[in-house]
């Protein structure tokens, strides 16, 4: 049982190590002979107070109590409520948007929400190792 948790943890660490390179990759598309470059890690110029948190960092921030003022519990309570589906990825992202830690557009980014959901699923394993 412990060996499988170790393997799971190693897979999570490996994926988190590779994630910044994947996220910062740029895609190029053409639209009427005009190149459109989108970089998912770039914030808009009018959001100087908003930073970008990776899904793992968002869950860790919440676990450490960073979103208490926005209705997200910390520590074991967060783990318990996540296990019981009382707190979902969308709840966490909404709280982070309200805390000005994420841009509001992230609420509609299904890839980001799925990644946060995956991190919430892994949260009990992280907490057990804590």
Evaluate the CA torsion angle 92, 74, 118, 50 in order and state its sign: positive
Please tell me the predicted confidence (pLDDT) of residue 46: 40
Residue 2 clears pLDDT 90, i.e. is over it: no
Closest of 54, 57, 50 to residue 104, by C-alpha: 50
Whole-angstrom distance, CA of residue 55 vs CA of residue 112: 7
Q: 65-123, pLDDT tens digit by residue? A: 999 999 999 999 999 999 998 999 999 999 999 999 999 999 999 999 999 999 999 99
Q: 12-34, pLDDT tens digit by residue? A: 555 555 555 544 444 444 444 44
Per the structure, how many domains does the chain have?
1
Please tell me the predicted confidence (pLDDT) of residue 13: 53
Domain that holds residue 117: 2-129
Place of tokens 């499988």: 4
Closest of 122, 9, 10 to residue 60, by C-alpha: 122
């Amino acid at each position: 049982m412990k060996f499988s948790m170790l393997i799971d943890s190693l897979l999570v660490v490996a994926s988190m190590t590779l994630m910044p390179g994947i996220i910062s990759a740029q895609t190029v598309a053409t639209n009427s002979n005009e190149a459109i470059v989108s970089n998912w890690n770039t914030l808009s110029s009018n959001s100087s107070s908003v930073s970008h948190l990776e899904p793992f960092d968002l869950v860790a921030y919440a676990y450490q109590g960073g979103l208490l003022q926005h209705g997200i519990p910390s520590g074991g309570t967060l783990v318990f409520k996540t296990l019981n589906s009382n707190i979902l990825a969308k709840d966490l992202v909404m709280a982070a948007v309200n805390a000005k830690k994420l841009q509001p557009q992230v609420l509609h980014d299904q890839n980001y929400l799925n990644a946060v959901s995956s991190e919430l699923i892994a949260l009990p394993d992280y907490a057990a190792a804590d």
